[in-house]
Chain A
């Protein structure tokens, strides 16, 4: 009765028709199919884990992951054939699908093919590099049994795809909230993947804890930066922040405090300079295929984000903050080059090398010109493939307890396996930036853009740092070729098809971009960021 009367009452007091709700068009999806395919395949992968019997999961997951990457690549190529030159906004202006974003998507997809092949390999380590069941406690009877078991925790494939989806969103994000969500979507699966090594599980779990705690700490900084910039500009869209910073009647404290905190979060993810402390530990402790994925793809995504934030949101205030990032780039190059000299573990050595490379990349990123942008994009492409192949090679040198990563164990490797030593030498030379490798072209275009933009002193420091870094790459080469192998030294595993394919991919791209870089340079210079 009372319900009836209230309905009648409502009907009486609301005679005026309510205004028609604003019509919201469904978003056009043609620009974002690559992301949707990757994320959908990740969800299907989770269902596979739930419904397939254990022995069918590995083939199903590998096939699904590779198909998803191929499908996303086809979708990207299809879109690219008639994409608007200036880029377009997708998903209600949260994603900017412009030329740099498309280039980074292509790079990420290609690198992920290599990483998935390394992750899927079961020939180098019988059963794969991943623990059979992550819940088994290290050091127990079950743990010793799982080392020789043939199964692996196949959740790692959907986790890889989720992380990849997050990375793709991250480098196209047009507002800071989307960027934050993407940062978490890419980070959370990586934290878990770090802790899944089959052998040396204590190291692996420790790497996961360190990466998680420091990563969460850094994303809190990122988020506080977002909040302060929202308070400053009244919006988190990059173009709005840029517009607000151009008119100067607001508090600069909020702007620069917010920018500082935001950039600290980004630099942490890119393992730049003084924010690198997690990098060596995590690179060493994580399973090597995951390290390869992290080193290549996270770097690409993080620098994609840094480039977009600096060029779109903060270009108008560059004279205030550029000096600080000069200092950060110098710190990163010096730390990477000097501490890399003292390392005795080959994975840690590559980690410090990645810190030095992050410094070189940052030089390109703070040259706020079109050439700085295209040079940095090209450098990311070359660095990703080289480092992916390097970690692939590192996973091949093994002794009875797993991978032999101590440098003394690599002595005389050329006598045991001339091919592996030759390939690794080539990759180290590429990391050092010797001509005829992609590393040389990458450094050349970045430094050239930096000199054009008036940063000659920084380039001089970078050249000195790369000379110092070249010393520790050459030290490994000398060790492999001119030392006597130890009697109980490691063996070089003959890799199966998957790892061979991944290493070959990395080496071929490194060589090809060293000899014929012009086509990739043209792609990288396809256009600037869309600002809307």
Chain B
């Protein structure tokens, strides 16, 4: 087992998530990309825990999961409320605030 591969996979997943946030149009998909980024971080935390030979990284993974769950609760509530108004979750249509 080479832990470096896991780090590279984690960096790749994080990049896919970041690019997804920047190019996707649907707020739900954007949000899923953010979750992908958080899970990529979890992977590297666990890998570093293995490399460092301690448990802190794994415990931090649990914290991140709990925070991500809380973020889903708040985020979906906000996205749902604007969806009910506009009948669309596209982030391009939210264009009242500019300049």
Contacts and interface: CB of A to CB of B under 8 A. Distances in A.
Interface of A: 134-135, 137-139, 177, 180-181, 184, 188, 191-192, 195, 201-203, 205-210, 212-213, 216-217, 220, 223-224, 226-228, 230-231, 234-236, 280-281, 284-285, 342-343, 348
Contact of A203 (B7, B45, B57, B96): B96
Max chain B C-beta neighbours (<10 A), residue from A209, A217, A235: A209
**Nearest 4 A/B pairs, CB to CB:** A231-B48, A220-B37, A281-B97, A234-B52
Given A191-B74, A220-B41, 9 more contacts: A180-B64, A181-B63, A184-B70, A191-B78, A212-B78, A227-B41, A230-B48, A230-B57, A342-B99
Contacts of A202: 85-86, 96
B58 to A, nearest CB: 11
A205 B74 contact: no
Contacts of A208: 78, 81-82
Nearest to B30: A213
Interface residues of B, number: 44
A209 B27 contact: yes
Interface in B50-74: 51-52, 54, 56-57, 60, 63-64, 67, 70-71, 74
A212 B30 contact: no
Contact of A180 (B54, B67, B79): B67
B74 A212 contact: yes
Secondary structure type dominating chain B contacts: helix
Contacts of B14: 220, 224
A184 B69 CA distance: 11
Nearest to B3: A231
B16 interface: no
Interface of B: 7, 14, 17-18, 21, 27, 30-31, 34, 37-38, 40-41, 44-45, 47-48, 51-52, 54, 56-57, 60, 63-64, 67, 70-71, 74-75, 77-79, 81-82, 84-86, 91, 94, 96-99
A191 B74 CA distance: 8
B75 A236 contact: no
A160 to B, nearest CB: 15
B40 A224 contact: yes
A202 B97 CA distance: 10
A231 B34 contact: no
Contacts of A201: 85
A137 B85 CA distance: 6
Contact of B97 (A138, A180, A188, A210): A210
A226 B63 CA distance: 13
Nearest to B43: A227
Contacts of B18: 217, 220
Nearest to B52: A234
A139 B60 CA distance: 44
B78 A195 contact: yes
A208 B97 CA distance: 11
Contacts of B57: 227, 230
21 contacts: A181-B67, A195-B78, A203-B97, A205-B82, A208-B78, A208-B81, A209-B94, A212-B74, A213-B34, A216-B31, A220-B14, A220-B41, A224-B37, A224-B44, A231-B7, A231-B44, A231-B47, A281-B98, A285-B96, A285-B97, A343-B99
A307 to B, nearest CB: 24
Max chain A C-beta neighbours (<10 A), residue from B18, B30, B47, B99: B99
Given A209-B91, A210-B97, A213-B34, A184 B67 contact: yes
A236 B34 CA distance: 23
Contacts of B30: 213
Nearest to B94: A206
B78 A188 contact: no
